[in-house]
Structure 1
Amino acid sequence: MKLRLTVCTTLLILSSSAINAQGFQVNFQGQKQQGMGLAGTGLYVDGSSLFYNPGSIALSDENSFNVNFTPIFANTLYVDSATGDGYRTNSPMGTPFSAYGLFQFKKDAPLKLGIAVYTPFGSTVEWEDNWIGRFALTRLQLSSVFIQPTVSYRITEKLGLGLGLIVSTGSVNLQRDLPVQFADGTYASAELSGKALGFGLNAGIQFQATENLGFGFTYRSRINMSVKSGSADFSVPGSLESNFPDGPFEATLPLPQVFTLGASYKFGEKWTAVLDINYVGWQAYDTLAFDYETNTASLTDTRSARDYKSIFAFRGGVSYDVIKSLTLRLGGGFGFTPVQDGYLTPETPDANRIYGTFGISYKIGEHFCIDASLYYTQMKRGDTNQETNLSGTYATKAIAPGIGLIYKL
């Protein structure tokens, strides 16, 4: 019975990991916005506004290409409540990227077209050998790519509407030890992997109330990431192979809807301030269900309550045009965690978080612009997971330097 519950827990972790990374809005989709605290819904910035507010694209007047890369370096220290021992992650660098193309048929045309490719979540978490939570997780690798063709139209000189259709692809690979030993004393293990596909939309409205004051509103829909044929592979002693047969499984991983209200204000010729308020519909993540092609007494279809709560996040920042070709940015934000007590896991040791950001842009002539940003956060939280009984405190630090290049035709 204990082993059966442990394996079921592993599969629950598989789902919560993929969802949490998207639900916490890893908004590394534009260097300028990253420099201003990850905010930018209330104004057009560049091609990255295809993600932040498709409606603002209608108020642009350019053909351009934009690529961004923001490596993430994170480290987590876990201190066990019972023993006081500490264990660290040895995670490799995360690699979120984005690419955008903006197109118009003629100068100042009301109709704008765009294509966006971005990675809203994706990283690898790997714990040191023989850590105390190895029966919950040893390694987790996530990757995702969202493809978003977009149409935006300027209704009036002050009002723009935009709609992007999203095709979401993703993959996951999870590894962990099982509390069963081979004759040589090594532990059995499980490896779960699968590919997921989902569809959604990203809609936005931009209203430029005055020359200096702008407002934006966006809605990113819920996306059900469907795993149609995941693969569960078990390495167990021969006497247990019939209890844990390798084979496919199916699951649906919901990515919640997100509402964002943004505002921008220009102070004179050099200063611009932005503010975003996000509401994430985490109530969608209430229950997880898994269907295995082959069931045994130890491996059964599962349903588990997760009871996540919907959250708000607040982001803001400023930019300052030092000279015509040089702009500096500063920002930060605060976000509540949707993970309630009893659900904290080794791959998502999330907590209420505060972060800070810095950014810089330099224009090279009329066609090129180089952007860079820096993000830093740290958080700490203790909990006892009700599925695994893993009890301790997680302290996480993360830094993400980003760089981007824009070319205007």
Structure 2
Amino acid sequence: MKSKILALLGSALLSGTAMAGGYQVNLASQRQIGMGHTGTGLLTGTSSIFFNPGAMSFMDSRGAVTIGGSGIISKIAYSAPESGAITARTDNPTGTPFQVYAVYGINEKLKAGLGVYTPFGSTVQWGNEWSGRYALNQLKLQAIYIQPTVSYAITDKLGVGIGLNYVVGNVNLQRSVPVQSQDGTEGGIELDGSTESAWGFNAGVYFQATEKLSIGVNYRSKVDLRVENGDVMFSNIPAAARGNFPDGTSFNAELPMPSTLSLGLGFKPSERLTLAADVSYVGWDAYEKLRFDFSQNVGGSSFSEAGRNYENTFIYRIGAEYMVADGLALRGGAYLDKTPVQDGYLTPETPDADSRGLSVGLGYNVSDNISLDASFLYINKKERTDASNLSGGIAGTYKSIAYIPGIGLNFKF
């Protein structure tokens, strides 16, 4: 029983960060969110730092800065096996991912930029009374990417770019333990740790094939974050069980974040209308298993290990922008994000399923140098039931939705 609990503990830590959801929703630009988060085959302005560094070299302003953020309002409902009724819901606080981009034109062909964004970060909060509390009560995580970038226009139609990703993060996990103190209070475990800094890269090629058609290819590398000497804290452990939960324990764990290869098209059938489509291939097969090492034996073992066996997946995105009037743009988009989680590997911190996203947005030019973008994204995951639990998860049916408004400010000079 204790080894199973340890496996669940490690599962929550690693898969929560690796997927930044079960609801992994990249929120890299308010304009692009409004267009279904397309952008690989478009000149997206400063957010080309994220979507395709090769396009950044074609920015027409000497320099530009963008500041934006979103609010993630998410809910997960759980039904116990064969109950037919919802028996638990998450009470997640609003997440606040952000993005900051700055680009400076060294000359007409060469641009330099810096991006700071949070593609992984959320909180899942089930509380300490639901039936799966021995697997998870609460998970908080965040990863911050800092990306210096350069881009060069080889010709007036072809640009290349590359950025280095410096990544740091932190994680906090809490769960109940099936023991009680003398006053009847249930025991608990909390893990808290910051990741060591890690490096990756983001590279892209942008090609303006014709006046109306543009093509882009982008590759973001896998990043392995590692927690070293994270704190393991126990509460309400009875004296008879303290030998299995020793104070002063620390943990090490590795948190893989997968690579993404994207192909994008942009098409302008008229001066006012822009259409876009992206396909991304996400390398989730890097996440085959997890290992969770303790500095002292916990539950009679110095480590826990469980299979993940994630599968590589595709994300399909479409989007459009229409200039209703000079300085006013309306946007819309949709996407399908296929889950990498196989049957039998569903866990309560990332009860993942195929995601359907619908988005709308608008842009408004306040002046020649200042503009505003607003977006709204709705995510609906398919209801999913898992009973086999090859990963030691919690059997039952899960349903997830999210509402994500956002706003951004752009300034060019």
Tell whether the structures are fold-level matches, with TM greater than 0.5. yes
Equivalent residue number for residue 385 of structure 2: 382
- Using structure 2 for the length normalisation, give the TM-score: 0.95
Which position in structure 2 is the counterpart of 1:105? 106
Answer whether contact 2:345 2:393 (CA < 8 A) is retained.
Answer: no
Residue deviations 1:365-394, cap 9 Å, x none?
A: 111000000000222111133344521111
Which position in structure 1 is the counterpart of 2:66? 66
Q: Contact between 1:23 and 1:255, CA under 8 Å: does it hold in 2?
A: no
Q: TM-score, normalised by structure 1?
A: 0.96
1:21-32 equivalences in 2 (<5 Å) = 21=20, 25-32=24-31
Hey, what does 2:4 align to over in structure 1?
Answer: 5
SS at match of 1:40: coil
Residue 289 of structure 1 and its aligned partner are, at CA, apart by 1.5
Task: Determine helix, strand or coil for the equivalent of 1:394.
Answer: strand
Q: CA deviation at 1:254?
A: 1.2
| Matching residue of 2:220 | 220
User: Aligned residues, how many?
Assistant: 406
**Residue ranges of structure 1 left out of the alignment (5+ in a row):** none
Query: Compared with structure 1, are the counterparts of its residues 128 and 302 closer, same or farther at alpha carbon in structure 2 (3 Å cutoff)?
Result: closer
- Write the mapping of 1:125-274 to structure 2, written as runs, cut at 5 A: 125-196=124-195, 197-235=197-235, 236-246=237-247, 247-274=249-276
* Stretch moving more, 166-175 or 381-390: 381-390
- Counterparts of 1:354-373 in structure 2 under 5 Å? 354-373=356-375
* Structure 2 unaligned blocks of 5 or more: none
Q: Report the equivalent of 1:406.
A: 410
Q: Deviations over 1:261-304 (max 9, x none)?
A: 00000011111100000000111000211222222562322232
In structure 2, the CA distance between the partners of 1:280 and 1:344, relative to structure 1 (3 Å rule), is same
Structure 1, residues 187-236: CA drift from partner, whole Å, max 9, x if none? 11000111113210000000010111000000100111011221111221
Alpha-carbon spacing, 1:160–1:81, altered in 2? closer, same or farther (3 Å): same
Contact 2:320–2:331 under 8 Å retained in 1 = yes
> How much does 1:112 deviate?
0.3
- Aligned equivalent of 1:328: 330
The answer to whether the 8 A contact 2:7-2:306 is kept is no
Task: Give the 5 Å matches for 1:35-50.
Answer: 35-50=34-49
Secondary structure of the residue that 1:37 maps to in structure 2? coil
The answer as to whether partners of 1:92 and 1:124 remain within 8 angstroms in 2 is: yes
CA distance in 2, matches of 1:49, 1:39: 11
1:78-112 CA distance string (max 9 Å, x none): 11114445211111001110000000134xx1110
In structure 1, C-alpha distance between the alignment counterparts of 2:198 and 2:26, rounded to whole Å: 19
Provide the secondary structure at the position in 1 that maps to 2:31: helix
Equivalent residue for 1:96? 97
Is structure 2 residue 341 aligned with structure 1 residue 339? Answer: yes
Counterpart of 1:353 in structure 2 is 355
Q: Which amino acid aligns with 1:218?
A: N
1:116 counterpart SS class: strand
| 1:100–1:366 Cα change, 3 Å | same
Checking the alignment, whether the CA contact within 8 Å between 1:23 and 1:256 is kept in structure 2 is no
Q: Distance in 2 between matches of 1:295 and 1:123?
A: 30
Identical residues among aligned pairs (%): 42
Structure 1 residue ranges, 4+ long, deviating more than 4 angstroms after superposition: 22-25, 82-85
Alpha-carbon distance, 1:5 to partner: 2.2
Partner in structure 1 of residue 75 of structure 2: 75
Asked if the contact 2:70–2:405 (Cα under 8 Å) also holds between the matched residues in 1, the reply is: yes
- Conserved 8 A contact 1:244-1:299: no
Alignment partner of 2:134: what SS? coil
Asked if the contact 1:193/1:230 (under 8 Å) is kept, the reply is yes
Query: What secondary structure is seen at the aligned counterpart in 1 of 2:358?
Result: strand
Contact 1:3 1:178 in 2 (8 A): no
Given that residues 295 and 302 in structure 2 are in contact (C-alpha distance below 8 angstroms), is that contact kept between their aligned partners in structure 1?
A: no
Q: CA RMSD in A?
A: 1.4
Structure 1 position 24, deviation (Å): 6.2
Residue 143 of structure 1 aligns to which amino acid in structure 2? Q
Compute the displacement of 1:129 (Å).
4.1
1:125-181: per-residue Cα shift (whole Å, max 9, x none)?
Answer: 111441111111111111111000001001000000000000001000000001111
Structure 2 residue aligned with 1:311: 313
For the 8 Å contact 2:139–2:174, the answer to whether it is kept is yes
Q: Is the 8 A contact 2:10 2:290 kept in 1?
A: no
For 2:36, the aligned partner's letter is: G
Question: d(CA) in 1 for partners of 2:186 and 2:105?
Answer: 59
Structure 1 stretch displaced more, 2-11 or 151-160:
2-11
